[in-house]
Amino acid sequence: MIDDEIQVATTRKQARGLSRDRHARILEHLAAGGSVTVSALTAELGVSDMTIRRDLLELEREGRLRRVHGGALENNVLPPVAMDSEEPSFESRLQQRRPIKEAIAAAAAELVQRYRTIAIDVGTTTFLMSPHLRRLQHVKIFTNSIRVATVLDGTSAEVYLAGGRIRLDELSTFGPSAVAQFEALWFDVAVIGVSGITSDGLFDYSFEDADLKRVYLRRAGLKIALCDSAKFQRMSLVNVGALADINLLITDAPPPDSLAAALAAARVEVRVA
């Protein structure tokens, strides 16, 4: 009996030692790169992802790191986040940093033109993308933006506008019927606009538009977010989704270190136009 108790105590001591060793190596990687991913740590340390997630949870409780989807960040690489409480008009947003948005829109259009079913969200940058798609043939384009549908009117593309209530300034359609209509579909690629992006995810001003953004993210194979760098570390009323809900971010400048680390942990590719 005493021998069994000694064996149990020895096993627990060894486990604690291994745990401390893993924690030390995790913190070394954090210090070197600012972020770690569960998959990389699992491969390097030769343990299960459940073990690594438990290690990260323990280290977070000790205040040593901050967990994000798919990994963790250093606590000291998180710059402040600004809150936007009011949505500017569509026209005023369209003129803000317009040449930069044009470059992002052109890069997005070049990418999506290889697909056959394309979902396009409301927003100024998605609107600026739409003229680049006028030459496409044999494609189906789905949108809740009346502006985008109007730009594409008369082209060879088949354009489908979600039916529902109209949000006047944005000229977007929304509501249960619009959501139900597009929820029944599957898109090769979806392109969404956002009002801000932080390590906590993607943000938008409007409850109404956010519902369709989430549909696009759920129902598309490739999910692309368009976001100029002025929106980094900015949030607004509605959290649309996590960073891991998108595959690709097209922007005009590299994100700050903390956001870049969070995007890498979520396996989001960042493409600078």
Q: How confident is the model at residue 109 (pLDDT cuts 50, 70, 90)?
A: very high
What is the DSSP secondary structure assignment for residue 185, as one 8-state letter?
-
- Average pLDDT value for the chain: 89
Q: Which residues, including other chains, have CB under 8 Å from residue 107's CB and lie 6 or more apart?
A: 250, 271, 273
Domain boundaries, given as residue ranges, for the chain: 2-77, 82-272
Q: What average pLDDT score do residues 40-49 get? A: 91
Q: What average pLDDT score do residues 81-94 get? A: 86
Rounded to two decimals, what is the model's pTM? 0.74
Helical segments of the chain, H only: 2-33, 38-45, 49-61, 90-95, 98-112, 124-129, 146-151, 176-183, 207-218, 257-265
Sole residue written with tokens 């409007």: 206
Q: What average pLDDT score do residues 102-126 get? A: 97
- Position 184: which residue type? A
Task: Please give the CATH architecture assigned to the domain spanning 2-77.
Answer: Orthogonal Bundle (1.10)
DSSP 45-105: HTS-HHHHHHHHHHHHHTTSEEEETTEEEEGGG----EE--SPPPHHHHHHTTHHHHHHHH
* Coil/strand/helix, residue 172: strand
- Is 60 exceeded by the pLDDT of residue 149? yes
- Position 113: which residue type? Q
* Coil/strand/helix, residue 162: coil
User: Is 82-272 CATH 3.30.2320.50?
Assistant: no
Q: How confident is the model at residue 10 (pLDDT cuts 50, 70, 90)?
A: very low
